[in-house]
């Protein structure tokens, strides 16, 4: 655990996100992971009014099986980078890349850094009958060989569902409460023309959805998407002269429960607890200051438990909190306001960062805008369920 946060506090507000964009989202046949991330970065540069020659850093996560992915990205952008690398921390990598950019810029290792992630996940799992049956984003060599497959235990859905069952047992959490998360995010997606999901979802639809790995049904599970997102980070000083209203990076924090998802009570109390505490301390803020939360929603339950771990309600009260309608646009804590990974597109947390930035720019039409949003909290989760990162953004 971090004891002394003063060095991190010195980084507060030193850097800003000055450009952000996504690639095409959803079903984008015929493009590779690399094509998608380059498309998103290119769009983000346009958004910022910058050219590749203005960029001297690339921090990205590859699609796992790719070697030195950042190098391929920089080559496509036609740049030599002062500071670049590929991160491998699962869905917690994307926020970590933003934090690493802040540190590099603050200490003069680079001036302007692009951070991004993209993967052709829909294409990988739906491009053929064989791909549909296999339904895997990773190569065979990366999958478990024992202590899982022989029991018919496959996939991330089951891993997260184990946490949901335990939470329901300890706290009386219900599928109705998970369902409210799916329904709220779907409502947000219907206001987002880029979102994959276009049909309304009711709580009855949720309960009628087929079971996948109980307690999770189809609507508890995030989408399989071809998707990429990118943000451009530079110093707060340089940000003042750029095209967009800068969004300040106020805090970040990390924690990995690397003893494992099955160890201790890690599937009920996630690493969001320590990552969030570090990010709040760096930002000098607390949960009461957060106007909108963009939470890593690989599954409905993961939203509920993270909201508890971030202190928006007490442990065990997440069900009642979401059940009150808190996550809706007009609620107490508008959450995943673009539809999230459940209803917009799944880009392993990258689109959560994009949406946090967009909400703080106040450029959305009223029906999508979180009113008077000043502070956004963004979460990233992954790496066999135990790696966590938190980002706190604020209006300049």
What does the binding site for other proteins look like in residue numbers (CB under 8 A)? 133-135, 140, 145-155, 157-158, 161-163, 165-166, 169, 210-216, 259, 262-263, 267
For other proteins, which is the closer residue by CB, 10 or 265? Answer: 265
Nearer to other proteins, 107 or 262 (CB): 262
Q: Least Å distance between CB 214 and other proteins?
A: 4
Q: How far is the CB of 266 from other proteins (least distance, A)?
A: 11
Q: Which CB atom, from 166 or from 361, has the smaller least distance to other proteins?
A: 166
Residue 11 Cβ vs other proteins, minimum distance, rounded to whole Å: 34
Residues 6+ apart with CB under 8 A from 127: 29
Say if residues 246 and 17 touch (Cβ distance below 8 Å). yes
Q: Closer to other proteins at the Cβ: 106 or 169? A: 169
Select 74 or 162, whichever has its Cβ closest to other proteins: 162
Alpha-carbon distance of 282 to 27, in angstroms, equals: 39
Strand partners, 23: none
Contacting residues for 325 by C-beta, under 8 A, at least 6 apart: 180, 184, 331
Q: Which is nearer to other proteins, 155 or 311 (CB)?
A: 155
Burial 145-169 (b: 16+ CB within 10 A, else e): eeeeeeeeeeebbbbbbbbbbbbbe
**Distance of closest approach, residue 175 Cβ to other proteins, in angstroms:** 13
DSSP assigned state of 228: E
Task: Give the burial class of 9: count Cβ atoms within 10 A of its Cβ; 0-12 exposed, 13-18 middle, 19 or more buried.
Answer: middle
CB of 245 to other proteins, least distance (A): 45
- Spatial distance between the Cα atoms of 355 and 340, rounded to a whole number of angstroms: 9
Provide the token pair at 383: 């790496």
Interatomic CA distance for residues 295 and 321, integer angstroms: 15
Q: Could you give the strand order of the β-sheet that contains 226-235, starting from the edge strand earlier in sequence? A: 83-87, 57-61, 112-120, 226-235, 15-22, 247-256, 387-395, 375-382, 292-294
Q: Which is nearer to other proteins, 214 or 396 (CB)?
A: 214
Task: Give least dist CB 93 to other proteins, A.
Answer: 25
| In the complex, least distance from residue 103 CB atom to other proteins, rounded to whole angstroms | 31
Which residues share a beta bridge with 84? Answer: 58
CB of 67 to other proteins, least distance (A): 21
> In the complex with other proteins, which residue's Cβ is closer, 67 or 151?
151
């Amino acid at each position: 655990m971090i004891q002394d946060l003063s060095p991190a506090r010195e980084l507060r507000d030193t850097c800003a996100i000055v450009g952000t964009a996504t690639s095409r989202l959803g079903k984008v046949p015929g493009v590779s992971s690399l094509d998608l991330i380059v498309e998103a970065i290119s769009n983000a540069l346009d958004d910022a009014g910058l050219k590749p020659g203005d960029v001297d850093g690339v921090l990205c996560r590859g699609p796992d099986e790719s070697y030195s992915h950042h190098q391929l990205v920089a080559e496509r952008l036609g740049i030599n980078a002062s500071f670049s690398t590929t991160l491998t921390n699962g869905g917690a990598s994307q926020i970590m890349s933003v934090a690493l950019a802040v540190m590099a810029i603050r200490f003069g290792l680079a001036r302007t850094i692009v951070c991004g992630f993209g993967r052709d996940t829909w294409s990988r799992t739906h491009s053929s009958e064989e791909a549909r049956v296999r339904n895997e984003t990773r190569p065979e060599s990366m999958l478990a060989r024992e202590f899982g497959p022989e029991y018919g235990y496959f996939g991330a859905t089951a891993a997260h569902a184990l946490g949901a069952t335990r939470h329901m047992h300890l706290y009386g959490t219900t599928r109705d409460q998970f369902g409210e998360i799916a329904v709220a995010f779907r409502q947000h997606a219907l206001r987002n023309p880029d979102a994959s999901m276009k049909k309304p979802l009711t709580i009855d639809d949720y309960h009628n959805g087929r079971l996948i790995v109980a307690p999770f049904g189809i609507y508890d599970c995030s989408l399989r998407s071809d998707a990429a997102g990118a943000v451009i980070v530079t110093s707060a000083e340089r940000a003042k002269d750029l095209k967009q209203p800068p969004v300040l990076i106020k805090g970040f924090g990390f924690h990995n429960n690397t003893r494992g998802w099955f160890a201790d009570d890690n599937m009920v109390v996630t690493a969001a607890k320590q990552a969030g505490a570090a990010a709040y301390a760096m930002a000098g803020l607390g949960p009461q200051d957060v106007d909108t939360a963009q939470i890593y929603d690989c599954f409905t339950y993961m939203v509920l438990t993270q909201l508890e771990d971030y202190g928006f309600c007490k442990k065990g009260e997440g069900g009642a909190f979401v059940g009150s309608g808190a996550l809706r646009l007009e609620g107490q804590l508008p959450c995943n306001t673009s539809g999230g990974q459940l209803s917009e597109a799944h880009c392993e947390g990258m689109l959560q960062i994009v949406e946090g930035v967009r909400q703080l720019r106040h450029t959305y039409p009223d029906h999508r805008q979180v009113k008077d949003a000043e502070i956004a909290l963004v979460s990233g989760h992954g790496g066999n369920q135990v790696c966590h990162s938190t980002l706190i953004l604020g209006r300049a």
